Chains A and B, each alone.
Chain A
Amino acid sequence: MAPVSTAAVEVCDLVKTYGTRRAVDGLSLRVPPGSVLALLGPNGAGKTTTIEICEGFRRPGAGTVRVLGLDPIADAATLRPRVGVMLQGSVGGYTGARALELLRLFASYAARPHDPVELLDGVGLADVARTPVKRLSGGQQQRLSLALALVGRPELVFLDEPTAGMDPQARRRTWEFIRRLRADGVTVVLSTHFLDEAEQLADTVVVIDAGRVVAAGTPAELTRSGAEGQIRFRAAPGLRLESLVADLPEGSQASEPEPGRYLLRGEVSPQLLATLTAWCAGQGVLADHLSVERRSLEDVFLELTGRELRA
């Protein structure tokens, strides 16, 4: 029996093995309707495998997957008109077709499609409407791919690395689209290895590594937990930091990663900043390039996995 579910996507204890490698290793997640969930992780973390299982392209090795309450493979015919898909890395359409022609073809599959001309204009491809897909740049192909995912007015979209290969302007435009989808009640599942993308767009960020969920929550929850932040400054090299640490609250750390560049970790507060500047005054040094840094998802990821996100 299928569990009664109100989630748009529900994945429980998903396992997928290729040979001896576990691409997905007991992953669970839940996407409430109308929300944006970002799967964040480095290449090879299992993002695409998870998404492609939800899309019905691959069979789960173990565990259950429910999409709009249905089985992605057994109920594919019912699900496909309701779900929009953006594949990773390729438009996956006839490469000899022209951009507008391909969008029109996909519109012809849907009962109440968006107007292809308006949608193509909306993703900023009006100028290349008559250009064959294979001659579009990588970023243009990504935008066409987004339009193809949306043309049938889906209620759920899977966007696998939607802004890979885009210039900053096109990324912003794509983000705007995703915000509008959310505002209009479309559920969005996207994968990314861009932290700012997950931070900017997602209601829920699921950080995955080696096929497992290592952390999940809102961007604020994820960056709030643990150490609060850090302060960087520059000054003459070789300052004696022991006396600074003695002045700081318990648990704070100070270090000099490079000569003349200092890093202070701890709960960043006005008091901490005042202590630091007072100490500098006492030492007779001028702190330069002083910056207060909030912990980013990148730091969270590094802490959780011990690895850089874009290694």
Chain B
Amino acid sequence: MITSFAPAPGAAPRSRMLAAQTSMEFRLLLRNGEQVGLTMVIPLLLLFFFNLPLLYSLNNPRRIDFVVPSIVALAVMSAAFTGLAIGTGFERKYSVLKRLGATALPRSVLIGGKTLAVLLIEAVQIVFVCALGFVLAWHPHGDPLLALVLVALGTAAFGGLGLLVAGTLRAEVTLAAANLIWLILLFAGGIAIPLTRYPDSAREVLQYLPSAALSDGLHQVLQDGRGVPIRALLTLLAWAAVALPAAARWFRWE
């Protein structure tokens, strides 16, 4: 029984808030069926199906070496863009962000908690995707650290875009838009179908999509074992440099 309501206000240390916020956001992601489907089940299913010879031939004797980097790119896009946008959009709709704004939790810690939760989800995704890849005889090449840098930059770019959509559109519109953009980028953004399959003129434009840059960079490193994919890194950096400030500028909390 509470014996006294005598005031004793004060904010907790930021580290404690960040740990609690990250843990809450991560648990909620794992508890949400659609989010788990989007970020875990669909990438693993697509990894399995895209690797089947009957679906489409990639003229590549080592199909799995193409498929795994594609699915890693898809997983990052699913978690950092579509998942984050839909989750945040509904938090806006149901006054979650407004309510949190009236607590001692600073916005920077809220954003930090969301970012860390997305990175944790991506870590789980990548472990599963790589594990299934190894089962299907995947042989990665290149520097794994370079791949992690690409994933981090991709998360920043997609996360910024996801928050921009969630912070400016209604939750229902965000839901539709985030799923539609996910589907379009999956097929036309250089993830499921290599951009080399497109006419030159289309490729010239499509290669600057964040999905194409992330996918292309991961293929260069993991499939071809090449060095630093400079254009991919710069493209992702540019998207992050535009999307994150734009989200900060136009995000509406209510």
A interface residues with partner B (beta carbon < 8 Å): 55-57, 77, 80-83, 85, 87, 90-97, 101, 104-106, 108-112, 114-115, 118-119, 121-122, 148, 150, 152-155, 180-181, 184-186
Contacts and interface: CB of A to CB of B under 8 A. Distances in A.
B252 interface: no
B104 A81 contact: yes
A109 B5 contact: no
B10 A110 contact: yes
Given A109-B17, A110-B104, A111-B11, A94 B28 contact: yes
Contacts of A180: 5
Interface string B4-21: 111111111000110111
Report the 4 A-B pairs with minimum CB-CB distance, sorted nearest first: A92-B99, A111-B10, A108-B20, A155-B7
B20 A105 contact: yes
Interface in B60-97: 91, 94-96
Contacts of A104: 20
5 contacts: A94-B24, A108-B17, A110-B9, A118-B1, A122-B1
Contact of A101 (B1, B19, B24, B105): B24
Contacts of B28: 94, 96-97
B99 A186 contact: no
A140 to B, nearest CB: 16
A248 B5 CA distance: 53
A95 B96 contact: yes
**Interface of A: prevailing SS:** loop
Contacts of B201: none
Given A92-B94, A105-B20, A122-B2, A87 B7 contact: no
B99 A93 contact: yes
B231 to A, nearest CB: 40
B99 A87 contact: yes
Contacts of A118: 1-2
B196 interface: no
A77 B108 CA distance: 12
B8 A112 contact: yes
Contact of A106 (B11, B95, B103): B103
A253 B8 CA distance: 55
Contacts of A83: 9, 102
Contacts of A80: 11, 102-104
Interface string B205-239: 00000000000000000000000000000000000
B103 to A, nearest CB: 5
Given A90-B95, A92-B96, A153 B9 contact: yes
B106 interface: yes
Contacts of B19: 108
A46 to B, nearest CB: 18
B98 interface: yes
A180 B2 CA distance: 10
B37 interface: no
B31 interface: yes
